[in-house]
A and B are shown apart, each in its own frame.
Chain A
């Protein structure tokens, strides 16, 4: 069975600082990986996805993520955080079939200091 671990429950960074949110997955084959963001009181918005090919993927809002098979990781990064990035971030893994179920991590809540 697939699983996802987000080891950081809360992270606080200063505005303008760089950000890295960690995600580790467990899956026997090549996973399909996703990062979603949830602003307070809102639904989840897809930030980026990895299916195959280039291991560094670009997403919306200036985010990127790197797939590292050897470390079973898919960490999310942003070079300069904005106050509007304060939200909860979820990593998810799928088995790679269309319509497949996703397994989500427990989320990382990001706070941004002015």
Chain B
């Protein structure tokens, strides 16, 4: 296992509320990623980080923000959750010099 945990694993929230998902790694990897998985779309990149305080947008970043104040933690925030953000969210990591990514167990988020 790649040493990635995600919390919470399941969450139900109401439209308009803020939500923060946490990804924690024990591998000291430089790169971290947030994806969402939806039927018929595969995995789509939301945001990624290439170091502490260094982040950038992916293809579906609208409505999401991220922060990385420590190497081991990468936070994904939905400032005001909408029903279209109901999804399964995966965090991934890879190390400097590597090309493949390793995934966490996922967080299932339902916005009602």
Chain A interface residues (CB < 8 Å from chain B):
6, 32, 34, 36, 42-46, 49, 51, 90, 94, 96-102, 104-107
A43 in contact with B99 given A101-B33, A101-B48, A106-B40 (CB within 8 Å): no
Pairwise interchain contact A100-B42, C-beta atoms closer than 8 A: no
The binding surface of chain A is classed by DSSP as: loop
Binds A, one of B13-21, B66-74, B77-85, B103-111: B103-111
Residue among B92, B96, B99, B105 facing the most chain A CB atoms (10 A cut-off)? B99
CA of A105 to CA of B37, assembled, Å = 11
A-B contacts besides A42-B106, A99-B31, 6 pairs, CB < 8 Å: A42-B105, A43-B104, A44-B90, A46-B100, A49-B99, A98-B98
Show the binding face of B for A, using Cβ within 8 Å.
30-31, 33, 35, 40-45, 48, 50, 58, 90, 92, 94, 96-106
Given B41, B43, B99, which contacts A51 in the complex, CB threshold below 8 Å?
A: B99
Given A98-B96, A99-B50, A101-B33 in contact, is the A43-B103 Cβ separation under 8 Å? yes
Q: B99–A101 contact, CB under 8 A? A: no
Q: Return chain B residues, CB-CB under 8 Å to A100.
A: 99
Contact B42 A102 (CB under 8 A): no
Point out the residue from A6, A46, A98, A104 that lies within 8 Å of B102, measured CB to CB.
A46
B108 to chain A, nearest CB (A): 9
A98 and B30 alpha carbons, distance in the complex (Å) = 10
CB atoms of B96 and A101 under 8 A apart: no
Cβ of A36 to closest chain B Cβ, rounded Å: 8
Shortest distance between the CB of B5 and any CB in chain A (Å) = 11
| A32→B99 contact, CB < 8 A | yes
Please give, as numbers and ranges, the residues of chain B lying within 8 Å of A90 by CB-CB distance. Answer: 42-43
> Of B41, B92, B102, B105, which one neighbours A106 at CB under 8 angstroms?
B41
Cβ-neighbour of B30 out of A34, A49, A99 (below 8 A):
A99
B77 to chain A, nearest CB (A): 20
Query: Do B97 and A98 touch (CB < 8 A)?
Result: yes
Residues of A within 8 A of B45 (CB): 101-102
Among A42, A97, A98, A107, max chain B CB count under 10 A is at: A98
